[in-house]
Amino acid sequence: MVFDCDGLLVDTEARWSVAEAALFARHGFGFGAEQKAMLIGRTVPDAVAELTSYFGRPGEDEQLTAELMALVRQELDAGAEALPGARRIVAECAARVPVAVASNSPRALVEAALARAGLAELLPVVVTADDVVRGKPDPELYLTACAKLGAEPGASVAFEDSGTGAAAARAAGMYLITVPSLPGRAVDHDWLLDTLDDPALLGWARTLAPIAR
């Protein structure tokens, strides 16, 4: 069982949006749904590559990365809460099967977000953009997480909120449960939910057969 982090387990996506809006404003651009869709779910290098093109600032990847990370850290320092149902569904799954996080964010930000949300102890296996060559939508993050869990991807479940992450899980051959963080946008899925707090999801988790560890 492999979970995304930002926007799926922890309400960091709202913090990222504030930071991104501030960066866009700093460079003289507005920030709305179109701009958010351009960035959501991407690794920081991929997002910055989009920004250098959008802002017309070729060759300034390093500067824009530093600006964005400073703004994001400022927002995350204010705290990030677990999204509704996140702690309960992770706890139910972790009690029965091996679980992990696979995130396109840098490790320092992921671990800080999980700790602030009270999820770190439930998710000891964390794979981030720092641990792979290619982030989502490439399947490497999910394949690496499954390998660390000793699980076959085809027999594993991915939880995602973005199109980028969903593409990675699909490419890894995993069953895909999707809880979109951007309302109104179609995202690939095998099971589509509005929230992790859905009673049907909790009931499903409680039917999982425990695996010997």
In a domain? residue 21? yes
Together in a domain, 50 and 92: no
Q: Is the pLDDT of residue 174 over 70?
A: yes
Together in a domain, 107 and 193: yes
Together in a domain, 99 and 159: yes
Domain limits at 7?
2-11+81-205
Which of 54, 76, 98 is a domain's end point?
76
Q: What is the CATH number of the domain that holds 120?
A: 3.40.50.1000
In a domain? residue 213? no
* Catalytic site includes residue 61: no
* Catalytic site includes residue 6: yes
Instruction: Please give the mean pLDDT across all residues of the chain.
Output: 92
Together in a domain, 130 and 183: yes
In a domain? residue 211? no
In a domain? residue 212? no
Buried b (16+ CB within 10 A) or exposed e, 66-87: ebbbebbeebbeeebebbebbb
Together in a domain, 6 and 33: no
Which of 201, 209, 191, 184 minimizes the C-alpha distance to 86?
A: 201
**Per residue in 105-148, pLDDT tens?**
889 889 988 988 999 999 999 999 999 999 999 999 999 999 99
In a domain? residue 64? yes
Provide the domain count of the chain.
2
Together in a domain, 51 and 142: no
Together in a domain, 62 and 44: yes
Q: Is the pLDDT of residue 213 over 60?
A: no
Residues 6 or more apart whose CB falls under 8 angstroms from that of 44 comprise 65, 68, 69, 104, 105, 106, 129
Together in a domain, 21 and 53: yes
CA dist 191 and 213 (Å) reads: 27
Together in a domain, 126 and 162: yes
Together in a domain, 111 and 191: yes
Predicted pLDDT at 139: 98
Q: At what angle do helices 107-116 and 61-76 cross, to 10 degrees?
A: 10
**Per residue in 23-66, pLDDT tens?**
999 999 999 989 988 888 788 888 999 999 999 999 999 999 99
Which of 57, 76, 95 is a domain's end point?
76
Which of 26, 44, 76 is a domain's end point?
76
CA dist 116 and 126 (Å) reads: 15
CA dist 77 and 91 (Å) reads: 25
Together in a domain, 67 and 131: no
In a domain? residue 187? yes
Together in a domain, 111 and 20: no
Q: What value does the mean pLDDT take over residues 179-197? A: 90
